[in-house]
Structure 1
Amino acid sequence: MTKNTEVVVIGGGYAGVMAANRLTRRDDVTVTLVNPRPAFVDRIRLHQLVGGTHDAVVDYGRVLAPRVRRVAGTVTRIDPARREVRQASGDTLGYDYLVYAVGSGSGGLDVPGAAEFAYPMATLEEARRLRAALDVAPVTAPVTVVGAGPTGMETAAELAEAGRAVTLVCGGVLGPYLHPRGRRSAAGRLARLGVTVLDGPGTVVEAVTRETVRLRDGREPPSAVTVWTAGFGVPDLAARSGLSTDAEGRLLTDETLTSVDDPRVVAAGDAAAPSGLPFRMSCQAAVQLGPHAADTVLSRIAGAPPAPLALALVAQCVSLGRRNGLFQMAHRNDVAMRGHISGRPGAMIKEFISRGILWQLAHQARRPGSLDFPAWAKDRKRQEALRAGAGGSPVATRRGETVE
């Protein structure tokens, strides 16, 4: 009788669910997904939860294959030598292969006063806490959103559309990823919503108090509720478990997403750093990295060499309220181009993509392995960049193996 292969997936976000679903392609693979929450968090809608237009949660029955066993818990340590993970409850789970898809959370909260007085919103629990704070604050109370990436812009627009007095503190430029043309479009929409945008080098936040936000240039905009969207951080689980990470704490892997320390540990999503050159933290990357991590595991089970990464990030979508949005087109190496779609069409594209992500998860749950990104949506320049950065040498090594 053929022995079942046990695969444990840590993390039930976009990457973890995609990986878990795809792993069910083989009947002799048992998949266990460990996640602390009983429902799937549709993270790209957390700004809507804050604005009161969506609850940002979905039943796992909609997006997860029935064969995937769910364990409610938090992994506190990985023991590669014993091939087991330890949970906060003290229970352990053994594995033959491990998919590390722990995602990311809030970052930058080391600014004086930020941890005490600001409200991050990178997780469901944080977003709900912020929503509760807004519910008890008068609608006329000033709200300051710190950070002008997609989450900051989306949250500022959502709250302004609900009638809030919002100041968006950029800490630099508005929408750093955007092409200048797309940035002007976003700025125009925010201005029409009544959002006060503070940008430039002087707008770096140096302190947060109960009633103000103190900027580098000396200004102190009043703030009854300060929303913190300035940056992301990843859990330190890999580092605490003795696995190699980059400076930000992401698990270091080769181009197949295999840990440089252990061929039975594979990473996906925001917490993966393939060849030390991680992709932009995003849902767009997660839904491609998750399936690739699964394919790497399945290849190893089959005794075949896993394939290197072949994916691309080709756009950034930003909702600017319920009736307006921005679809920023990008080159396949994730550099914004001049082209963008704004206004109502931009909002429709963002909503279509947001719904489409859940459709992708559900589709993989029903027909694992049947959905792949098209061949044209690949960044063929990545290998060139990796070879140039490594001086023409192999991009990663793992226990004596060479990965070209």
Structure 2
Amino acid sequence: MRENTEVVVVGGGYAGVMAADRLTQRDDVTVTLINPRPAFVHRVRLHQMVAGTHTAVVGYQEVLAEGVRLVTDTVTRIDAGGRAVELASGGAVRYDYLVYAVGSGSADPQVPGAAEFAYPIAGLEEAQRLLPVLAAASASAPVTVVGAGPTGIETAAELAEQGRRVTLVCGGVLGPYLHRRGRRSVAGRLAALRVTVLEGAEAKVTAVTRDAVRLADGRELPSAVTIWTAGFGVPDLARRSGLSTDALGRLLTDETLTSVDDDRVVAAGDSAAPSGLPLRMSCQMAMPLGARAADTVLSRLAGERPEPLNQSFGAQCLSLGRGSGVFQFGNRSDVAVWFHVAGRLGAKMKETVCKGIVKHLADEAQKPGGYSLHRMKGGAGRREALEAVRAEAPAIERIS
């Protein structure tokens, strides 16, 4: 009779749910998922929640395998030496292996007044806090969205489509990932929605007040509601627990996603920094990394050598309101290429992706091990980056 193995997954987002579901392939593995809230947050729809076009919440019963034990709590510390996690409610949960999938959230804006007067929407509770503020503001009240990545662009478009008077402050270029052709399509759609787009270094926000946003060039924009979407941060759980992290706080791992400090700790998603070269923070990366982390644990339990990371990329898709979107294709090294799909078809493709995310998780819950997108061969970009890093200082690589 095989000895039972206890695996604890910390974080119930895209990466954590995928890892937990996949780990149930073996009947001698007990999987516990610890998450602060009792429902799955579909983060790529939070901008829709703000606009009232989607709830952005899915019941765990739809995406989590029946064999996974869900604990609604917050992990306050990882005791790697004792192989246990301490909970905010008191007590601890022991583990044989830990999957660290705490995800990401809003970055500290470090701009005077932003923490007090701006509203981030990277998490469910943040989006919920914004809802009554928007509801209380008149339709003609000026709304400022700070940050021109996917969340900022999508939020600006969603609100403008509802008749809101929106200014999008880029602090740089509109849609940094996009190819110039894709960027042109996004700019055209925002213009059609009458979104004022401010680009360039002079449009960097230097202060936020209760009713205005101040820019680097001295301009002051009236703003009844300021929404902050610039940048991501990660929880400091790994750092507080004495585990090695990168400058942002992501857990440092080798190319099998195993912690450089402890081969019983494996990371996945936005909170992982494999070889100090983290992948783009996105749902597109989170689920494959969750599957890869689970496979690393399962390989070790089987006495096999875990496979190193070989991640493939494909695209970045943006909704621009309910009737339009842009599907920006990229190469396997995550560099945008000239080809993109815009307009109504772009919106349909984005919606297909959003629905497909939940379907992938639900399918893995029903048939663990069925997900295979993480096995698609990646591009040469990461391999070349690793070679460059190792030429300067050989990285720790644990693949045995």
| Distance in structure 2 (CA, Å) of the matches to 1:377 and 1:340 | 22
| Distance in structure 1 (CA, Å) of the matches to 2:25 and 2:376 | 25
| Distance in structure 2 (CA, Å) of the matches to 1:84 and 1:69 | 16
Could you tell me how far 1:348 is from its partner in structure 2? 0.4
Aligned equivalent of 1:54: 54
| Distance in structure 1 (CA, Å) of the matches to 2:272 and 2:17 | 15
| Distance in structure 1 (CA, Å) of the matches to 2:296 and 2:375 | 18
Aligned equivalent of 1:163: 163
Contact 1:310-1:380 within 8 A present in 2 as well: no
Q: Per the alignment, in what secondary structure is the counterpart of residue 226 of structure 1?
A: strand
Could you tell me how far 1:375 is from its partner in structure 2? 5.4
Aligned equivalent of 1:274: 274
Deviation string for 1:271-299 (max 9, x for gaps)? 00000000000000001000000000011
Q: How many residues matched?
A: 400
1:266-305 aligned within 5 A: 266-305=266-305
1:68-107 aligned within 5 A: 68-107=68-107
Contact 1:395-1:403 within 8 A present in 2 as well: no
Q: Structure 1 runs of 4+ off > 6 angstroms?
A: none
Contact 2:77-2:237 within 8 A present in 1 as well: yes
Deviation string for 1:181-234 (max 9, x for gaps)? 111110000000010001111011110000100000111111000000000000
Contact 2:257-2:272 within 8 A present in 1 as well: yes
1:94-133 aligned within 5 A: 94-133=94-133
Aligned equivalent of 2:310: 310
Could you tell me how far 1:378 is from its partner in structure 2? 1.9
**Which amino acid in the other structure matches residue 177 of structure 2?**
Y
Aligned equivalent of 2:195: 195
TM-score, scaled to structure 1:
0.97
Aligned equivalent of 1:342: 342
Deviation string for 1:289-332 (max 9, x for gaps)? 00000000011111111110111222100000000000001011
**Which amino acid in the other structure matches residue 58 of structure 2?**
V
**Which amino acid in the other structure matches residue 302 of structure 2?**
A
| Distance in structure 2 (CA, Å) of the matches to 1:194 and 1:131 | 22
Deviation string for 1:72-101 (max 9, x for gaps)? 000000000000000111120000000000
| Distance in structure 2 (CA, Å) of the matches to 1:350 and 1:113 | 34
| Distance in structure 2 (CA, Å) of the matches to 1:35 and 1:375 | 27
Aligned equivalent of 1:325: 325
Aligned equivalent of 2:221: 221
| Distance in structure 2 (CA, Å) of the matches to 1:216 and 1:252 | 35
Could you tell me how far 1:62 is from its partner in structure 2? 0.4
| Distance in structure 1 (CA, Å) of the matches to 2:247 and 2:133 | 34
| Distance in structure 1 (CA, Å) of the matches to 2:236 and 2:186 | 35
Q: Per the alignment, in what secondary structure is the counterpart of residue 390 of structure 1?
A: helix
* Runs of at least 5 residues in structure 1 that lack an aligned partner in the other structure: none
| Distance in structure 2 (CA, Å) of the matches to 1:38 and 1:375 | 31
Deviation string for 1:42-76 (max 9, x for gaps)? 00000000010000000100000000000000000
| Distance in structure 2 (CA, Å) of the matches to 1:384 and 1:180 | 25
Q: Per the alignment, in what secondary structure is the counterpart of residue 210 of structure 1?
A: coil
Q: 1:374 to 1:237 in 2, by over 3 A?
A: closer
Could you tell me how far 1:356 is from its partner in structure 2? 0.3
Q: Per the alignment, in what secondary structure is the counterpart of residue 93 of structure 2?
A: strand
Q: Is 1:172–2:172 an aligned residue pair?
A: yes
Contact 1:23-1:298 within 8 A present in 2 as well: yes
Q: RMSD between aligned alpha carbons?
A: 1.3
Contact 1:97-1:265 within 8 A present in 2 as well: yes
Aligned equivalent of 2:2: 2
| Distance in structure 1 (CA, Å) of the matches to 2:154 and 2:316 | 12
Could you tell me how far 1:392 is from its partner in structure 2? 7.9
| Distance in structure 1 (CA, Å) of the matches to 2:364 and 2:102 | 20
Aligned equivalent of 2:14: 14
Could you tell me how far 1:269 is from its partner in structure 2? 0.3
